[in-house]
Amino acid sequence: MYITQVKHNTIDMPDNNLTLTTEVEELEPELQTWIHPNYGIKDVWAHNLEEEFASIRKLLPKYCYVAMDTEFPGVVARPIGDFKTASDYLYQLLRCNVDLLRIIQLGLSFFDEDGKTPTGQYTTWQFNFKFNLSEDMYAQDSIELLTNSRIQFKNHEENGIEPIVFAEFIITSGLVLMDNLKWMTFHSSFDFGYLVKVLTDEKLPQEESEFFEMFSLYFPCVYDIKYLMKSCKNLKGGLQEVADQLELKRIGPQHQAGSDSLLTGMAFFKIRDMYFEGMIDSKKYCGHLYGLGITTLNNGQFRYDNEGPFNL
């Protein structure tokens, strides 16, 4: 059972009455591909999906560090009831929203082990998924934020990628199920929630432990910068604040997945060099998603991997 946060146009869902907001002003369409001397961002729609995956496959395995970010339509529901732990509540919050909503964008940026980007025109691919403001559920404030960030919802409606088609390409691309790839993210529990949903074409598992089994199968090595920051003195805040502290310059508009994934990758390598002397202990930091997960201590007590309030 969910407490909903959206208004207008009630939609019937199993065991729930959920509502949808439709009043969003569309910006004028404009070219979204960003060309930079060192960091080009390529927009991917349904018509060039196959072509761009072919380009990505050519980068592997040399560029085996993949920075990832998604854009999704906010949080529309919160779970109610009894929860075993705080971590369980946070996972159920993720699960109920990911199950109800659709991914809007996915950004993937590629780096080699030294943090260098590919030498070609593009280093980042921004996948734009099918999304219809008249039919799909969303949180009003999130859509307004994305619209102000120049996301073109009319193009998403008409030219967006179907998630199941994307799943077919990424499964055979060499990007998932591969031990040699290292994923770099920032506070990415929701991001991977949407990716697992896309890859399986199913709702997320009810239990957090089952989710982590699926997550670790598809993505064996993940570094969440927000989790790394627990060991970084004086480094705090969201992605943009962290980038400012690291004196990194953003390429492209904030709150678009391509720009955010590129900045995430740049931040990872800067943090690795500044705070970890160029080497991050994979046994200690790999596979943790900030805000989710629970660790059993030797004395049988529990320690939650999330600390403080959960920030979306």
Q: Which of 19-28, 80-89, 94-103, 288-297 has the highest mean pLDDT?
A: 94-103
- Residue 33 is predicted with a pLDDT of 56
Sequence-ordered alpha helix ranges (H) in the chain: 49-59, 86-100, 140-148, 153-159, 163-171, 189-200, 208-218, 225-228, 239-245, 257-275, 282-285
pLDDT digits (tens, 9 = 90+) for 151-168: 999 999 999 999 999 999
Q: Is residue 28 one of the residues assigned to a domain?
A: yes
Q: Is residue 194 one of the residues assigned to a domain?
A: yes
For position 294, which CATH number holds? Answer: 3.30.420.10
CA trace torsion 151, 252, 196, 155 (10° rounding): 30
pLDDT digits (tens, 9 = 90+) for 67-112: 999 999 999 999 999 988 888 999 999 999 999 999 999 999 999 9
Q: 202 in the Ramachandran plot: left (φ > 0), alpha (ψ -120 to 50) or beta?
A: beta
- Residue 272 is predicted with a pLDDT of 98
DSSP string, 214-269: HHHHH-S-EEEHHHHGGGSTT--SSHHHHHHHTTPPP-S-TTSHHHHHHHHHHHHH
Q: Is residue 272 one of the residues assigned to a domain?
A: yes
d(CA 117, CA 74): 31
- Residue 170 is predicted with a pLDDT of 98
Kindly indicate the confidence band of residue 4, based on its pLDDT and cuts at 50, 70 and 90: very low
Closest CA relative to residue 57, chosen from 202, 209, 182, 173: 173
Q: Is residue 177 one of the residues assigned to a domain?
A: yes
For residue 92, the enclosing domain spans 2-304
Q: Is residue 236 one of the residues assigned to a domain?
A: yes
For residue 248, what are the contacts with CB-CB under 8 A and spacing of at least 6?
A: 263, 266, 267, 270
How many domains is the chain partitioned into structurally? 1
Q: Is residue 311 one of the residues assigned to a domain?
A: no
Q: Is residue 33 one of the residues assigned to a domain?
A: yes
What global pTM score does this model have? 0.84
Q: Write out the two tokens for 166.
A: 């994307």
